Chains A and B, each alone.
Chain A
Amino acid sequence: MTTKAKALIAFGLYILIAVVLVLVLGSNGKNEEFTPTDEFKLDPWVSIEFGPVDMSINKAVLYLFLACVLTTVVMTYIAKRMVDKPNRVQTAMEVMYDLTYSNIARNNMSREMSARWFPFVATLFFFIWISNLIGYLPLPTNTEHSTNIFGLELPTLALYAATANISVPIILTLVVWFAYQAEGIRAKGFVSYVKGWIPSGTPGVLKGPIFVIEAISQFVRIISLSVRLFANILAGHMLILFMGGGLAVILGIAALGWVTLPLAIIFFLLEVGLIATLQAFIFATLASIYFGEATAASH
C-alpha cells in the first residue's frame, strides 16, 4: 500500500472515531465551574506585606527563583569544568557563547559597548530562555487541587511560566530602556543625543513633526518590547490550555478533546522547540540594537 493510501486511511479513521465519539458521548452542556484562567492566578503561599506593598511568595516568585538558580548554577558549573578537548556540553556552551557574542552583541554594538554590555545581554538571553522553558515543565505547584499519593496531600502538577505575567517582562524592559537611554546621554550629551533621534537629511520643515514621532516611538518601545515577550508566552500557554482539553471541558462536548488534542501536542512542540528560544533571542537582539543605536555615531 502506498504511503498516500496509508495516510488517507489513517486520517479517515481519525474523522470516523471523532464522529462516533460525538454520537456516543454527546454533550454535557456548558460547564460553568471550570475557570481556565486559574492557571495564571497567583495565590500567596507565604504572605509578606509591607503596608500596601504585597511581596508575598507565590507561584511566580518560585518560578523566578528557579530560573535564577538554574541559570547561574548551570553556567558556572559548565564554566568551571572547561577543558581543552571539549565534550558535547562544552561545545554546546561554546556555540551559545558565539551566538550571544558575535551574533547578538557584536553585530549590533561597537567593540567598546560590547565589552561593557555583552554580559548583560547574554544574561538576558539565558535568563529569558530558561524562564520560558521551565514554564513548559509540569511542576507540583497547583495548590487549588491536591492529589493523594500514599496518604500524602501533594499539590497537582501545573504549567506556569514566569514570563507569562506582565510584571516580569516589563521589569526587564524598563532595565534595558533606562540603561540604553543613560548610555546614549552619557555618550553624546543630552541635547545632542535627543537631536540624534531625527535622521540626518530630513528637510527643516519636517524636523519638528519627525522629532515628535521619534520621541513617541522611543516611549512605545517600552510597551512593544515587554508585550512582545509577554503575549507570545501567554498566548502559547492559553493555546495549549484550551486545545489540550479546556475547550472540551468548557463546552461539555467530550469528543472535542479527541479533535483538539493533536493540535495541542503540535502547539506544545512548537512552543518548546521554537517560540521559547526565539523570544529570548529577539529580546536580547533588540536590547543590543537599542544600545548600539543609542551610542552610534551620527548617521
Chain B
Amino acid sequence: MLDIALPIAQETTTGVTDDGLKAIALGIGAGLGSIGAGIGVGFIFGKVIESVTRQPEMREEITSIQWLGFALTEAVAFYTFIFGLIAFFL
C-alpha cells in the first residue's frame, strides 16, 4: 500500500516526478559539461595566440595542432550531452 501511496504523496507535496528528475539530469549534465569545454577551448586558443606571437613563422604547423586540440576538447562537452540524453531516455 505504501509503495503506491508514497510516490503520489511525494508528487503532490513537492512536485517532484520522474519526468522532472530526468529533465533536471539532462539540463545539469549538458549544462555543466560546457564549463570544462569553454575553459579548455579558450585555453587552447590563448596558447596559440601566445606561441604565434613568439614565433610567427610556425603559424601553419601550430594551426593544424590547434584544430586537433579544439575538436578533442569540444568533444568532452558532447560526451556530457550524450550522458544527459542517456539519463533522459534510458
Contact = CB atoms under 8 A, between A and B. Distances in A.
Interface of A: 103, 224, 227-228, 230-232, 235, 278-279, 281-282, 285
B79 A231 contact: yes
A169 B74 CA distance: 17
A227 B82 contact: yes
Interface residues of B, number: 12
A103 B64 contact: yes
Which 3 pairs from chain A and chain B are nearest by CB?
A: A231-B78, A228-B75, A282-B71
Interface string B70-90: 111011001101100000000
A228 B81 contact: no
A227 B70 CA distance: 16
Contact of B67 (A230, A232, A281): A281
Residues of B contacting A: mostly: helix
Q: Main SS of the interface on chain A?
A: helix
Contact of B71 (A103, A228, A230, A235): A228
B82 A231 contact: yes
A272 B12 CA distance: 47
B64 A232 contact: no
B6 interface: no
A285 B72 CA distance: 11
B68 interface: yes
Nearest to A232: B78
Contacts of B78: 227-228, 231-232, 235
